[in-house]
Amino acid sequence: AQSVAQPEDQVNVAEGNPLTVKCTYSVSGNPYLFWYVQYPNRGLQFLLKYITGDNLVKGSYGFEAEFNKSQTSFHLKKPSALVSDSALYFCAVRPPRGNNRLAFGKGNQVVVIP
């Protein structure tokens, strides 16, 4: 079965500094990978996905993620963090065939310090 690990509970970063949120995955076959963001009292919002092609994926709000097959990682990055980026971030994976069920990581709280 597929699984995702987000090793850090909370990521603290100063405003203007680069932001990285880590994600490693386990799945049979080539993975479909996703990042979602959740603001307080809201549902999850889709940020970006990797299905195939270029390993560097660009998404919403200036976020990008790099797929690394050898390290089974899909880290989320932003070159310059904003206070408004403070939120909960979820990584998710699903296998290329079978059902459309996503396996989510436990989430990372990102705190951007002014």
Partner 1 sequence: EADIYQTPRYLVIGTGKKITLECSQTMGHDKMYWYQQDPGMELHLIHYSYGVNSTEKGDLSSESTVSRIRTEHFPLTLESARPSHTSQYLCASSELTGSYEQYFGPGTRLTVT
Residue numbers at the binding site for partner 1 (CB under 8 A): 32, 34, 36, 41-46, 49, 51, 88, 90, 94, 100-102, 104, 106-107, 109
User: Closest distance between partner 1 and the C-beta of residue 34, in Å?
Assistant: 6
**Residue with Cβ nearer partner 1 (16 or 39):** 39
**Residue with Cβ nearer partner 1 (36 or 81):** 36
Cβ atoms within 10 Å, residue 67: 21
**Residue with Cβ nearer partner 1 (26 or 80):** 26
User: Closest distance between partner 1 and the C-beta of residue 16, in Å?
Assistant: 26
CA 59 to mean position of chain CA atoms: 11
- DSSP letter for each residue of 74-109: EEEEESS--GGG-EEEEEEEE-SSS--PPEE---EE
